[in-house]
Structure 1
Amino acid sequence: MSSAKAALVRLSDSIPREVEREPGSGGFGSLTPERARVLLVVAARAASITLLLIVVLVVGALVAAGSGMEGTGGAIAASWLAVHQVPLVIGKTPLGLLPLLPTGFMLWLAARDCARAVEPDSRRADLGWIVGAAVAGPLLITAVCLAVADDASAVIALQPPDTLSAFGWVIGLHLLAAVVGIGSRRWRELAALAPVDLPDWVEPGAKAGFNAVRRLLAVAALVTVISFLAHWSRIGDTYQAAGNVVGVLGLTLLSLAYLPNVLVDATSMLLGGTVNIGDGSLSLFAVEGARIPAVPLAAAIPTGPAAGWWPVLLLIPAAVGVLGGLDIGRATDDRPTAPWATLTSAAVAALLLTFLGGLASGELGSFGWIGPNPLLLAAAAFVWLAVPGYVGMFCARWFIAPAPIDDYDEFDSYDDEFDEDYYYDDEFDDYEDAPGDREVTVDGELLEDQTALTAEPHADSPETPDIVDAEVVEADLPEHGEVDGR
């Protein structure tokens, strides 16, 4: 540029300026009408959508079956509790193995509403309001459903569930959804609430652990589909007892609702764990026969002896572990002598899979306890993700990942203080040092009766630059020659 000094043009007061909002001003702490409406959405929308779907399905099922509507309230209340994984007892039959698909859908809705309610300047008190609203709405509906279930026990064979257990499940699940939703926007602030400063390897390790679980579930879904197709001939037997189209549709919806449970069980098997089915069990090494529910999805469960090639499937979690190690080695400073992010990834994945395994298991009437062995699942997940992950991280650090850049001199092209011999480079600006006049456009209020700006002409330019009528304030330029102005 031709000028040896820099000037900041003072804009007119008529041009609107962005005023930084004071933290917490008009926020949830003051509970303005707008914020109250947002909290109402957080408290009611996910619960209302879930309850509406339950009402539609229950009423539709009763109408299709030609039953009376006397037990509608009890059925709706029981379904709401079942969506929240509250164990039920129908007659004398315990029902603890509940479908995960409705639960996951409800928690996704709740987490999304909580994430949308978070604002950039939300304080801790504001986040507390969001969490309270996310839990209060479903808790109120649960209290009503418990009262309805108690009254309906005289009409239908439904024993009232334990109140503390019901409230505990509802609070825990919706608290989890709120934390996940808020954490998706403000995870740094949540990490700052820890009593100690978290090391740098915690965040990438946790992300790698979540990615490992996602990959394992995706592979388990593929293996389940292959097994389902391999046992296609058994599907017809499960539909024979359906009776009509409504029964076929009901069995299909029931199978889809339990699909996440089956994926968690398949993941446990791929890791070398054991899935208990009443008195029997299922693993890659042995199959002990047991009765299975007569639903179409159960056709994917192998019933014969374990094939000799089944242990080869253990290469799947090993490959997932190596892939996670490669990602960690490329994205972190993990070293073979300090593989903290790798171990964190394995630990996070093991805890998450154990939690999912607990949700996907329970009593199912006369079939007994169905679900993976939690201790074996946690140990197998940690080993298969930690050891191959270490190998992948080692390979990424020493054979694949590029060497770190230690020399940044090529980027330091400017001195600490601006000198008149330095001009803007074409790489960063589109100005060119051309002789002659320059046309300068200033977005600001032109001020009259101001002293004209003059500058030394460029060596190649015999003329002086144009005169701009504006109030000028000289200021020191920041480093790297950046100018705050238009």
Structure 2
Amino acid sequence: MAKWTPMNKNTSPQSRSTPRPRSQARGRTVRAERTPRAPHPSGSRQSSGSAQRVARKAGSKAKARRTPAPLTKAGRIRRMLVTAAVPNVVIALIIMAIALGGLMLTGSPMAWWYTIVAEAWMVFNLAPVSAADVHISFLPALPALILAAVVAVRVRSAIKHKVSVKDLLTLLACVLGVPVVFTIIAWLMLWDAGKVYDVSPPNLAQALLRVIVLHLAAMAAGMGWRLWRALAKRYGVPRPLVDATQIALRYLAYLAIGAAAVFAVVFLVNVSRQGEMMNDYPTISGLGIAGLVLLSVLYIPNAIVSTAAVLVGSEFSVGEGSVSLFSAHLVPLPPLPITGGIPASAPSWAVALLIVPLGAALYSLYKKRPSFQDVLVATVASAVIMLVACYLVSGVLGYYGATGPQLWTAAGLTALWLAVVGCAVAAGFAFVAWRAARTAPGASPADEYADEPAAVADEAPTEPERDPITDPEIVDAEVVEDEPEDTAPDAAAEEPEEEQKEEGAPAEEAAERPEEAKEGDERGVAKPLSQQLKDQMGESEQDSSSEDSPEEGERG
């Protein structure tokens, strides 16, 4: 007999629970499978709304990251000072390194290093230099152009996200103040070196003026059109003024491209003269030739601006000599390869090159559809910009004297080309707009036939007079409403002419009587309701007469 053992709560089969899945035993729960829901009618709208919310949230976070922290006055000055000082310090360090390397290669005294650095800084900022009683302010513009481009990039990186008016004023003071301080230091170095060496400091006022103009132009270029439009909106300046200035810059850019192409062609045509000019240096070495070629490359921006001035009708002068599209009178030129591109005489076909400023003005104005106000502002802006460019690339060239394009003549003729072409283009677009407004659908018949004879006006179909409508939306709505009234329905167009002439024969009654429709189909035309009633009455009378006829026969 088996021994009885007591059962407790753990060993009782009733108390033992059903084995659970492994996932539940380990503390995890398995979700029951849900039946897929039917797609909501506005599911796409909800998804697009959620995507917009996510994008808006990400954009706000990115904007918060880009937004600079509030700065104090000292912090703002320190930040803008670093922005403006970096390009000037980098250029100064490059000049120092090159000057030191040149002195070590040539074995020259190291005491010349300060003088070379100061003179090179003046050259990079287009400030005049003086040595051995020779004054030169007609300097190569390519180094200054590189410096201005670097300054503009730095300004753009500092204000491209968020900037205030105080930040702009602080940045402007730093952009102009740093190079002015460096120029004064270089002037003092030259003044001190003049006590020992045959050098002299230039006119300080002229040097500072060129430095300020150069860096102010770099600041204006680095701000960008978006910031200029925002400033114009803030201070109530009409936005067309900014757009017109952009037209002037486009015109000058196209003119510069055309001038560069013309100068390249003339340079290649006169390549034989460059060999003759190089023969003037019989004992020059290969290093000297490389230096002359490099100096000619640095003068390329000067050549482009001077060629542009000649193309608009002005002239380029070298001391007593001058060159224009109409005549040329040259003196012995400096022995540089780039001066070999200056023609000794003006050919008769050179006047045809006036098409270059004409094409530049047309191409810059055609796509903008300018008004007369835009043309006026663009004309003034082009004159000012051309005057500044000619001022920076002209000056005194040693014993030759004044060299470069004629300032006022070049600026005036450049603006004159844009003014004449711009007025013609604006008048053309104004005339086209006037003709389009006159022949528009909303024009009244009286305006349309005002210039025609009375006989022609009488032959025209008369329409009921209506008040003129000026709102374009009302005109569109009226056209939509008039379409159903002017065009007949398709069902009515398919009906025969006889059926359309009858009154009281709708198509629905004919469709409700299939037997009558069949009879009408046999005859080819469906009968109207009145005719059908008459036919039924006639049939009933015939039936009654036929029923009465045998009786009458019997009686007879």
Name the TM-score class by shorter chain: 0.7 to 0.9
Q: What residue in structure 2 maps to residue 201 of structure 1?
A: 240
Bigger relative contact order, structure 1 or 2, given CA contacts below 8 A and separation 6+? 1
Change (3 A) 1:139 1:193: farther
Task: Give the partner amino acid of 1:45.
Answer: V
- Alpha-carbon distance, 1:140 to partner: 3.1
Q: Which has the higher helix share?
A: 2
Correspondence 1:178-193 to 2 at 5 A = 178-192=219-233
* 1:251-270 superposed matches below 5 A: 251-270=292-311
Contact 2:67 2:161 (C-alpha < 8 Å) held by counterparts:
no
Matching residue of 1:341: 374
> Compared with structure 1, are the counterparts of its residues 63 and 310 closer, same or farther at alpha carbon in structure 2 (3 Å cutoff)?
farther
Q: In the TM superposition, what whole-angstrom CA distance separates every residue of 1:156-187 from its partner, at most 9, and x where no partner exists? A: 32102233443343334323322332244521
Greater C-alpha Rg: 2
- Distance in 2 (alpha carbons) for counterparts of 1:154 and 1:402: 76
Return the alpha-carbon distance in structure 2 between the equivalents of residues 120 and 402 of structure 1: 45
Does the Cα contact within 8 Å between 1:24 and 1:121 map onto a contact in 2? Answer: yes
2:266 match: 227
1:26 aligned residue (63, 69, 78) = 69
Letter matched to residue 263 of structure 2: T
Say yes or no: does 1:327 pair with 2:338.
no
Distance 1:402 1:237, change over 3 A: farther
Task: Give the Å deviation of 1:54.
Answer: 2.3
In structure 2, C-alpha distance between the alignment counterparts of 1:79 and 1:185, rounded to whole Å: 35
Residue segments in structure 1 that go unaligned for 5+ positions in a row: 413-486
Please report how far the alpha carbon of residue 394 of structure 1 lies from its aligned counterpart in structure 2 after TM superposition.
4.1
Could you tell me how far 1:38 is from its partner in structure 2?
A: 4.2
Contact 1:23–1:122 (8 Å) recurs in 2: no
Asked whether 1:290 is paired with 2:331, we answer yes
Residue in 2 that maps onto 1:140? 181
Q: What's 1:157 paired with?
A: 198
Of 145, 151, 156, the residue aligned with 1:110 is: 151
Mark the CA change 1:409 to 1:292 in structure 2 (over 3 Å): closer, same or farther: farther
CA distance in 1, matches of 2:86, 2:226: 20
Q: Number of residues paired by the alignment?
A: 397
Structure 1 residue 24, shift from structure 2 partner: 9.0
Query: What's the secondary structure of 1:328's corresponding residue?
Result: coil
Query: 1:29 & 1:321 partners in 2: Cα distance?
Result: 48
SS in 2 for 1:284: coil
Question: In the alignment, what sits opposite 2:348?
Answer: 308
Distance 1:298-1:26 versus aligned 2 partners, 3 A rule? same
Q: CA deviation at 1:151?
A: 1.8
Q: Any stretches of 5+ residues in structure 2 without a counterpart?
A: 1-39, 441-470, 478-556
Percent of residue pairs bearing the same amino acid type? 26
Aligned-pair distance for 1:400? 11
1:79 is matched with 120
CA–CA separation in structure 2 for the residues paired with 1:30 and 1:403: 57
Contact 2:383 2:411 in 1 (8 A): yes
- Quick one: distance in 2 between partners of 1:224 and 1:17? 50
Task: Give, in whole Å, the separation in 2 of the partners of 1:249 and 1:402.
Answer: 63
Pair 1:21–1:302, CA change in 2 (3 A): same
Alignment partner, residue 67 of structure 1: 108
Q: Is residue 208–residue 327 contact of structure 1 (8 Å, CA) maintained in 2?
A: no
Per the alignment, do residues 324 and 171 of structure 1 end up closer, same or farther by CA in structure 2, a change over 3 Å counting? closer
Query: How far did 1:73 drift?
Result: 1.0
Contact 1:346 1:382 in 2 (8 A): yes
Q: How do residues 411-422 of structure 1 correspond to structure 2 at under 5 angstroms?
A: none
Is 2:96 aligned against 1:55?
yes
Q: For 2:256, give the aligned amino acid.
A: L
Q: What is the CA–CA distance in structure 2 between the aligned matches of 1:285 and 1:63, rounded to whole Å?
A: 50
* Compared CA separation, residues 281 and 37, structure 1 to 2 (3 A): same
Other-structure match for 1:130: 171
Residue 388 (structure 1) aligned with residue 421 (structure 2): yes
**Residue identity opposite 1:236 in structure 2:** G
Aligned to 1:292, the other structure's residue is in SS state coil
Match of 2:525 in 1: none
Partner amino acid, structure 1, of 2:151: A
Name which of structure 1's ranges 64-73 and 353-362 shifts more when overlaid on structure 2. 64-73
* Partner SS for 1:156: coil
CA apart distance, 1:358:
1.0
Q: Using the alignment, how far apart are the partners of 1:402 and 1:298 within structure 2?
A: 53
Q: Deviations over 1:20-56 (max 9, x none)?
A: 7699973444555xx6774343132211222233234
RMSD value, Cα:
3.5
Q: Could you tell me how far apart the structure 2 residues matched to 1:17 and 1:229 are?
A: 55
What does residue 366 of structure 1 align with?
399
SS at match of 2:135: strand
| Counterpart amino acid of residue 308 in structure 2 | T
Task: Give per-residue Cα distances to partners, 1:406-428, cap 9 Å, x unaligned.
Answer: 9568999xxxxxxxxxxxxxxxx
TM-score, normalization by structure 1: 0.72
Distance 1:25 1:80, change over 3 A: closer
Distance in 2, matches of 1:101 and 1:133, equals 23
Structure 1 residue 301: Cα displacement:
0.6
